[in-house]
Structure 1
Amino acid sequence: MSTPADHKPLKTPPKVPPVPRPSSSVLLISPTNQILLLHRVRTSSSFASAHVFPGGALSKSHDGPIPDVDSPDRHRDGPAYRLAAVRETFEECGILLANNKTTGRLFTEITDAEREEGRKAVHSGKTKFNDLLEKWGAVPDTDALIPFTRWVTPPNVPKRFTTQMYIYFLPVGSVLPGSNNKTDKTSGPVPSSGLEEEDAIVIPNPTHDGGIEHTAARFLPPNKWIDLARQNRIILFPPQFFLTLTLAPYLSPSVTSPSSPIPSPAELQRERERLLEFLDRPRVYGGESEVSFAEACISPIVLGKGEYGEKNQDGVGKGVDKYTAVLNLERPGKEVEQSDPSRRGIREWVVTTKFKGEGPRDVDVRRRDEILGGGGGKL
């Protein structure tokens, strides 16, 4: 379980930084193009922990061989990362990203009791994940995972990970229990799927893990999660904020309240296609080719605090006060640079935030030019 201290930068970096532990996370997109976040357990009576994507560390026993520390594959998408993404999503929210061996459709042919029993057995190590899937007649849907950046915890943080992020789209037209194709307390109004009731894929509502690591699991439009974070009503760490903000203009952008109408299935599919077009589009910054979101490897490093706009003679850095840290996203981290010099991060944006006792606050994403010189604006 993570605590705020595990993620807060140390004033004096350790002489030998801990080795980043391989992990996977999934940006799970609902049938109505909302994104799932889990609320971490509280670590004290005054601190509500961060909201995170489902995910966790790779396991050799569950996920297969893990690339060695010095291998370039340690920091690249691969079979173990993909299987861990499916397994951890199942363990943490109960939704199984697997297909029925016979029909090829998303596997949902188990009861809630069977799902919870299997989830606990895998989490406790009593059952291997692949053995459980074989018993159920399911295969992990690893091919549908879309790589969406990798994040390597910087060396001045006590607990470090090299995390492969993925996007996974639950089928448009599928439904959540109790929604009746109209409304659902978890993900909002649901449009008619156009399928006969017996043909519709019924996806289980996401649930927390009983308070072991999370206290809530909820789908909301990306823009609503960003609004909550900007109001400091929830805590999003820089990777979660950056990636959720990137999705916001494309997925459910018109859903601004519980009463907002949900787009038709055709429009929901077009939203997904527009997002994928954006992710596939060649990126250019400063007249030079930029790395794709699939290949980007980011180790956010604090450039400084209160330096921009105060010490620069050109007067750049408007809006960055002396309490705000500026995180550079263009480097992949020392370990990655040593094993694979071709890897790069993203130069176009920086993250600004204030690190406080309960975690990062006032997190935002700004154009690099706005902070380090020139014009620009927020993402």
Structure 2
Amino acid sequence: MSTAAATKPVAVPRPSASLVVLNPRNEILFVQRNPEARSFGGVHVFPGGNFDKAHDDSLADTAIRETFEEAGLLFASRSGSAAAFPDNATLDEARKAIHANQTPWKEFLGKYQLKADTAALLPFTQWITPKFATRRFQTQFFITFLDPSADFSSGHKEERLPTPDGGLEVLSARFLHPDDALSMFAAREITLMPPQFYIIRTLADVIASGRPLRDQVERLARGAFGKQVINPARFVPPEGLEKGVTVLTYEGDETRGGPKGRLHRAVVKMDKAGVTTELRLLRNFDIFTDLDAPSTSSKL
């Protein structure tokens, strides 16, 4: 067999979206994927999924719909003459029907005169699964905030307390402070993937700075950070790597066109089963002031 015939074709990334939800206590909404899931089984992630043209007009729609399906939080506002939100029982029934493709997302919104709050979502990096992966995604991460209301159901929109989806895709839905999530990962109580770790680490660093989180998140989202398209590439340093360790470089790293000495990479350690056990983010520049404009040459 020729080398060309034996070469496995590179999978085309599927467009997808994920939503980072921050509550007033600076905690992030996580869902734990079902271990039997085809992708990211057992891993703690932000709610999200694949773009579906039968449901979605945009990736922001995808993020909101998937967050409703997986965690029960509905980022939508009343529109038209709607007097009130559907009650919880109605929302639970709709959630299951949308997930099962029995009710189109847009039909659900129209029936109850709701409008998805896409304007409340801010871009917070985009990630492309590396070429060596069997299943690949091009995921737009968004970030948004829960209003500081006691029951999450006042005002003009409803944001229900998160609940898992009965094991269809996720086993749990809960808020964790970034520091707690990183500590739990270090103790191997939860598993994280590099994109989620990158975002959690970023938020933890901003919180540690003592500056108001919401102001700084909005600044990042509206600047070069939020527009980043990160296409990780494997890198083997001249001295080699120990077994089970992978180095993933990101755009702007000195090996990816950045200035000499600039590090924008992750050191990933996995066990024999391929589960990530350790992640270290090496990023030695200021993401507010030193991040170059996003590259337009990130290839799939």
Q: With structure 2 as the length reference, what TM-score do the two structures score?
A: 0.80
Q: How many residues align?
A: 268
Corresponding residue for residue 265 of structure 2: 350
Aligned: 1:367 with 2:278:
no
The SS at the match of 1:60 is coil
Q: Aligned ranges for residues 100-179 of structure 1 at < 5 Å?
A: 100-101=78-79, 109-171=85-147, 173-176=148-151
Corresponding residue for residue 287 of structure 1: none
- 2:122–2:222 CA contact under 8 A, matched in 1: no
Cα-to-partner distance string for 1:70-107 (whole Å, 9 max, x where unaligned): xxxxxxxxxx1111111111111110111111599xx9
Q: Aligned ranges for residues 330-345 of structure 1 at < 5 Å?
A: 330=251
Aligned: 1:35 with 2:28:
yes
Question: For the residues of structure 2 that align with 1:279 and 1:48, how far apart are their CA atoms?
Answer: 29
Question: For the residues of structure 2 that align with 1:95 and 1:108, how far apart are their CA atoms?
Answer: 16
- 1:94–1:206 CA contact under 8 A, matched in 2: yes
Question: For the residues of structure 2 that align with 1:277 and 1:83, how far apart are their CA atoms?
Answer: 23
**Structure 1: 5+ residue runs without aligned partners?**
1-12, 65-79, 178-196, 255-266, 282-291, 312-319, 332-346, 370-379
- 2:17–2:63 CA contact under 8 A, matched in 1: yes
The worse-fitting range, judged by mean Cα deviation, of 118-127 and 359-368 is 359-368
Corresponding residue for residue 226 of structure 2: 294
Q: Percent identity?
A: 34
Letter in structure 2 aligned against 1:349: H
The SS at the match of 2:219 is helix
Give the alignment's Cα RMSD to 1 decimal. Answer: 3.1
- 2:270–2:276 CA contact under 8 A, matched in 1: yes
Question: For the residues of structure 1 that align with 2:157 and 2:15, how far apart are their CA atoms?
Answer: 33
The SS at the match of 1:33 is coil
Aligned: 1:327 with 2:248:
yes
Q: 1:226 aligns with which of 176, 182, 185?
A: 182
- 1:352–1:364 CA contact under 8 A, matched in 2: yes
Q: With structure 1 as the length reference, what TM-score do the two structures score?
A: 0.64
Q: CA deviation at 1:203?
A: 3.4
Question: For the residues of structure 1 that align with 2:176 and 2:102, how far apart are their CA atoms?
Answer: 33
Q: CA deviation at 1:120?
A: 0.8
Letter in structure 2 aligned against 1:328: T
Q: 2:192 aligns with which of 236, 246, 250?
A: 236
Question: For the residues of structure 2 that align with 1:278 and 1:130, how far apart are their CA atoms?
Answer: 31
| Distance 1:19-1:199 versus aligned 2 partners, 3 A rule | closer
Who wins on radius of gyration, i.e. which is larger?
Answer: 1
Q: Aligned ranges for residues 41-60 of structure 1 at < 5 Å?
A: 41-43=34-36, 49-60=42-53
